[in-house]
Structure formats: structure tokens, C-alpha cells
Structure 1
Amino acid sequence: MVRTALDQVALELSNLGKSFGPVEALKNVSFKINKGEVVGLLGDNGAGKSTLVRCISGIHAPDKGEVKVNGTAVQINTPLDARKVGIETVFQDLAMIPEFDIVDNLFLNREIKHKNPLLAKLGWLDKKAMQKRAKKAINRLNSRIPSFDTQIQSLSGGQRQAVAIARAVNWGADIVIMDEPTAALGVEQSAQVNELINVISSQGVAVLLISHNMQHVVETCDRAVVLYQGESVADVAVDEVSKEDLVALITGAKSQAQIAEIHAA
């Protein structure tokens, strides 16, 4: 599904490289994501997707290359660095505590302390402020969530994704990275996640979506960037290629130039 992306680059990677000993996991990876755009990051196992995500999210520091956020070059050496420049990552395991409720998970490690300085010093939290902001974050996604006192383990897969996405955008993220968000979900819950992605992208958030599901990519993404053996080998508009074309790019059976030539014939 193609939406009109704002003519403003949110994230730009230039010649990003990362090695682990003699293994070159990323080789000069370059691409851009505009604000309000959803870009699929595709590649076979071992293509470098996970390493790239870890470099953008601050888990690994790249060995070379440049990362720009909103036109400014940034150094991302830790997850905190990524968050400070407006990058949030929703990992496949969602990084939530099942026994905690929705509000506690939304504010995990970012709790709002009580307004009273003495109570704040004693570790008291401003529960009312946290619940108010949590409701605002969930409502922003037009998501159907039960009581905010509900434990995460009692939610459906789609609802858990909604909480994870709400947590990401709640902190003013300009860029949200989503790692296989529908991998363990059924058809209905996957559709809910697609809608959540559409909602946040329509609000100007740039989304980098990692997925093996070609149907999900076709339905949700504006563009697809393909990694092959650590290199970015293709950057295509999703509405100009078929699912079979994407698979051919992922496996290395065809190049972007070959596919363009076939479509032009």
C-alpha cells in the first residue's frame, strides 16, 4: 500500500559496515527512509538484517559509515543513544514483563516520579500521570485495549504488539524499527498490526519493517530494501514489483536491474 511520504528524510544510512573478526556482516549498506514512510528490510537468514538493526538501535556500534537522523549525523553506540535521537525498536520478543500491567510496561525504566520531592526521593511514582499518558498513547493508535490494569500475559498477540508500538511512539520516536511483528500472529491479529503501522506512519513516523512475509510487505510497505550477503543490493517501490520479484532479489536469483529490464519489456 503506497501512501504519500513527506519529502523529508528521517533516517539515512551511508556505507555502513560491521565486522565480527574476519566475518564482514555488513558491507557499505546505504538507504534512506522518509518521514511517514514504511520500508521493508528483506533478506535471507544471514543476510545481515539483524546486525543492521542492532547497529541502528545501538546494540552494536558500526565499524564504518554514517547514520543521519533528520539530516544530522549522529553517533549511536548504545540503545540510549538511539532513543535520544528518536529511534525506538520493537523487537520480536517485545521486551515486556508478562506479569506487569499495561501501564507498568509502557513506562518500564522510564517511570514518572511523584511530584512531591520527598515522596519522589522515597521512590514513589506518579501513577495517575502514568495512566493518563498511557491512555493517550494507546488512543493514538485507535487500539482496542481492555483495562490498563490488565497484565500483559492476559492480552492477545495483537494487543501486546499495540502496547509495544505505543511504548515506542509514546517517547516521541521519529523512527520505529519493527522486527517480525506478525511472525507469531494469526490472520486477524496480523491485520491489526498492519493497521497500527498504517496509523503511526500516517502521523509522520518512519517505519523500518523486518519481515519474511512477502504478503505482509506488499500490504504494508512503500518500499523494500534487500540485503544479500551483507550488502544492500536493491531498493524498490513495492507497487512496481511482484512478490516473486522480491523473492528473486532475496535469493540472489535476479538483480534489481534485471527485474527492471523485465518489467520495461
Structure 2
Amino acid sequence: MALPPARQFALPLPLDASTDRADFLEDASNAAAVAWLDRVGEWPSGRLALFGPQGVGKTHLGRAFAAVRRWRVIEGPLLRDLPAPAPGGTVLDDADAVPDPTALLHLVNLCAERHEGLLLLAREAPSRWPVALADLSSRLRATTAVAIATPGDGLLAALLAKLFADRQLRVAPDIQAWLLARLPREAAALAEAVARLDRAAMQARAPVTRPLARAALAGWEGFGDDASEAALDLPSPPAAALL
């Protein structure tokens, strides 16, 4: 099988972004995963597992890969019966949450028999899954597993800037840096924060400033504002000024 061009995939930015490669970024956190996705023909036994904590982009990367390759995507918790043949391959998201290990074993065996690729996405490496079936356990241990780490500062900064640009929000670099220091290091959290700020800016008919951001994100569990640092900020403008 001919290998696809290098550097074909990378971490998707917005949660609802298209799978256009222009919408993806790559850094050290996902470079190994991207490299393996570029070498499908080299996957031992035709299987690969990408694993990492929630929010590092496994699902987005897997779905982007599936869209480009025209593979189907199956949600792990929904895998119960044997799926129909899938020309090309299958991406199994939340693979460590399959309710019936027998169904997962059958999927692994069927993909091998049909020479279909299988990409597993999970929080832990397959070798660490608590599996009682000996046959399934041996196949999972033999699956090449690649970790995706927490995105680096550069990728997170680019992600936040891209999310603002997609909504045509002009936010000063110092405000973006201030936000990055207070938001979770997850794509989902950044997307939710930008959506909240967009709504607040539209309602206030004002640009995104620290006071507006603090008011829009106050009480949201994803916002880790520091009250002592907040006291050092300039006084907030009167409410009327933001309307």
C-alpha cells in the first residue's frame, strides 16, 4: 500500500470545525500520533490505538482521519452487534467503554480477517484496560498504542486565536494571554469560553475586555479567576458603558 503524503493530519481546532487540513494544528503533544496516522500501511496487524486524557483531541483527530480516509466511526458504548463490512476501516471512539468485551473481540477479529484498518481511541493504552477475555487481552496488548499529551502553550494560543477569528471577534493579544492563564488546557473548554464571550460581547455591543470576560465567565467552573489578582485590575467601567 502506498503511503499518503507526510504531515497530513493534525489536531483539529474548533469542536465543530470541518475536517479541512487548514483547520488543524500540530505540536509536540500530538506529533507521534499524526506520524502514525500518516503510515496506515505500517500499522502492525492493521490496528492502532491513540490514548490520552479527556480534552487532548483524540476524538477530533480520529474523526478528521476517518473523514479523509472515508472510514466509519463507531461510538464504543454503542458497540454491541457485529457491524457490517467497512471498506477501508473503522474508528472506534471511547473504545475502552465498550459494554460487551465479546463484541470488541469480534470487531478486532473481523477487521483482521477482512484486512480493514481499526483505529481505537481511549483514555488509557489498551494494555491497561481491565479485560477478562484472554483472547481480547492478548490482541489489545499486541496493538500499537500512541499517547496524545496535553496540548502545548503554542497550540493552545493558536487554538484560542482561531476560535476568536472564526467568530470574527477581535481580542487583544494581552486579553487572550490573560484568558489562557485562567482556562482549562482543553479544546472543549476554550471553545465554550469563546462562545460565552461572543454572546456577551454581542449583548453588550462592546469588545472583549477583562471586565467583560470576568463578568461573562464568572461562576463557570471552567474559569479559574484569581480574586487577589483581580483586585489589581483597573476599575471596571460602569455597566452603562458596556451596553
TM-score over 0.5 (shorter chain): no
Q: Which has the larger radius of gyration?
A: 2
Going by fraction, where is strand more abundant, 1 or 2?
1
**Greater RCO, 1 or 2 (C-alpha within 8 Å, sep 6+):** 1
TM-score range, shorter chain: 0.3 to 0.5
TM-score by length of 1: 0.38
Going by fraction, where is helix more abundant, 1 or 2?
2
TM-score by length of 2: 0.41
